């Protein structure tokens, strides 16, 4: 009988291998294992809500805006609440931050305080909810900075992505798949609905270094900067152009789904700075979207930059900071990054 490895078993085995300090890469201290189990459980309940769709009354818009001025969908709020309720009482967290909340959510006094900080985009791809296209939940885990004392503040969250101790996403598509890194490569788990557990279905995920597939919202072309225009223009010229090969295009408008495709078969994803709102560095959020996805991509042998710098090295200056994102197959990301300096 083929052995089936559950997420629980994977995490227990990772924990057993842990000997170093609490924040050493690839190691899972008990609190972090618990945290990841709880996040996975929350993803299961979000998945259930997503699957019910109209039958569960979860589609459509809520009558509220988030801190970024975006109209919230009912599922943005539901997923945010599920993640908070699941994570606040276990004793593994000091605080949480979410794309859907203005400030940080400190674990209430009635529960024990842990050492970790959890950040999430509770529902990524909101515009796809009502049209039954893949959406997801993205999460990132930081350790509370050493010497930050009792209590927790927004400042404690402002750490570069390179300091993440775990990151992942759960994509709700034809299958529900949880993708995770704790700094020891990327692993994928598929939700077995009969058993109610995530089962390991792919280890050692690797992104091919080259690709013939790009993902970008082409409707913004006239607003892009010169380097991105040049890159896409060269791709579009196909075999007759400087690249000497034809490119294919995909744009799902859920970063989770686009990144999932890239982790599965390669490709390049871009949401670059553009001239629509030139004062904003980009659309995507550094701490809830770009950092966790960049770490996953790097752990799978890909690359991720904002056109100039490695995203994981960016020192955030605020919780809801935005960033330009270019990630995926290494040689293509390096090419676009080079175009930014020429
Ligand atoms: P969110 O639903 O969390 O606001 O994120 C949506 C993001 C990202 O998932 C996707 O790649 C991008 O926005 C799509 O943007 P456009 O609609 O501008 O293409
Ligand atoms: Mn998002
Ligand atoms: Mn979102």
Could you read off the pLDDT of 269-317 as tens digits, one per residue? 999 999 999 999 999 999 999 999 999 999 999 999 999 999 999 999 9
Angle between helices 7-16 and 30-52 (to 10 degrees): 170
Q: Which residue has the higher pLDDT, 168 or 24?
A: 168
Q: Residue 69's pLDDT is what?
A: 86
Q: Residue 68's pLDDT is what?
A: 84
pLDDT mean over 177-186:
96
At residue 2 the predicted structure's pLDDT band, cuts being 50, 70 and 90, is: low
Look up the pTM and report it.
Answer: 0.96
Which contacts (CB < 8 Å, 24+ apart) does range 3-6 have? 4/199, 4/200, 5/199, 5/200, 6/197, 6/198, 6/199, 6/200
Q: What is the pLDDT of residues 68-109, one digit of tens each?
A: 888 899 999 999 999 999 999 999 999 999 999 999 999 999
pLDDT at 20 over 60: no
Distance 157 CA to ligand 2 centre (A): 19
pLDDT mean over 157-173:
98
Q: To the nearest whole percent, how much of the chain has pLDDT over 90? A: 90
Indicate which residue's Cα is closest to atom 11 of ligand 1: 255
Q: Determine the length of the chain.
A: 342
pLDDT at 19 over 80: no
Integer Cα distance of 334 and 329 in angstroms: 9
Contacts with 211 (C-beta within 8 Å, 6 or more apart), sequence order: 266, 267, 268, 328, 329, 332
Q: Residue 150's pLDDT is what?
A: 83
Task: Indicate whether residue 186 lines ligand 1 (CB < 6 A).
Answer: no
pLDDT mean over 252-268:
98
Task: Indicate whether residue 88 lines ligand 1 (CB < 6 A).
Answer: no
Task: Indicate whether residue 255 lines ligand 1 (CB < 6 A).
Answer: yes
pLDDT mean over 140-150:
91
Task: Indicate whether residue 28 lines ligand 1 (CB < 6 A).
Answer: no
Among 125, 257, 277, the mutation site with the greatest number of ligand 1 atoms within 8 A of its Cβ is 125
- At 79, give phi and psi (nearest 5°): -65, -40
Domains of the chain and any CATH numbers: 7-202 (3.30.540.10), 213-341 (3.40.190.80)
pLDDT at 52 over 80: yes
At residue 27 the predicted structure's pLDDT band, cuts being 50, 70 and 90, is: low
pLDDT at 5 over 90: yes
pLDDT at 17 over 90: no
Distance 99 CA to ligand 2 centre (A): 8
């Amino acid at each position: 009988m083929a052995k089936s490895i559950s997420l629980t078993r994977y995490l227990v085995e990772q924990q057993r291998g842990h000997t170093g300090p609490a924040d050493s890469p690839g190691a899972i201290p008990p609190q972090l294992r618990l945290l990841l189990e709880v996040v996975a459980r929350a993803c299961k309940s979000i998945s259930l809500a997503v699957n019910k769709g109209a039958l569960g009354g979860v589609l459509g818009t809520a009558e509220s805006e988030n801190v970024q001025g975006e109209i919230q969908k009912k599922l943005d709020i539901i997923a945010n609440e599920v993640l908070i309720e699941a994570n606040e009482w276990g004793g593994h967290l000091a605080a949480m931050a979410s794309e859907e909340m203005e400030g940080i959510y400190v674990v209430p006094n009635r529960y024990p305080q842990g050492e970790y900080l959890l950040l999430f985009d509770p529902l990524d791809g909101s515009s796809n909810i009502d049209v039954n296209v893949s959406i997801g939940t993205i999460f990132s885990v930081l350790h509370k900075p050493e010497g930050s004392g009792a209590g927790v503040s927004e400042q404690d969250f402002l750490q570069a992505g390179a300091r993440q101790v775990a990151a992942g996403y759960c994509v709700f598509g034809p299958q529900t798949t949880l993708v995770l890194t704790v700094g020891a490569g990327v692993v994928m788990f598929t939700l077995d609905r009969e058993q109610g557990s995530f089962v390991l279905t792919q280890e050692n995920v690797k992104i091919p270094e080259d690709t013939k597939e790009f993902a970008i919202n082409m409707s913004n072309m006239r607003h892009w900067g010169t380097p991105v225009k040049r890159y896409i223009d060269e791709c579009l010229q196909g075999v007759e152009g400087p690249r000497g090969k034809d490119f294919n295009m995909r744009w799902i408008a859920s970063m989770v789904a686009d990144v999932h495709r890239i982790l599965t078969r390669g490709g390049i994803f871009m949401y670059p700075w553009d001239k629509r709102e030139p004062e904003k560095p980009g659309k995507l959020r550094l701490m809830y979207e770009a950092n966790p996805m960049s770490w996953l991509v790097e752990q799978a042998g890909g690359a991720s930059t904002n056109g100039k710098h490695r995203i994981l090295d960016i020192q955030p200056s605020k919780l809801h900071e935005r960033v330009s994102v270019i990630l995926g197959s290494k040689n293509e990301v390096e090419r676009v990054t080079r175009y930014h300096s020429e």
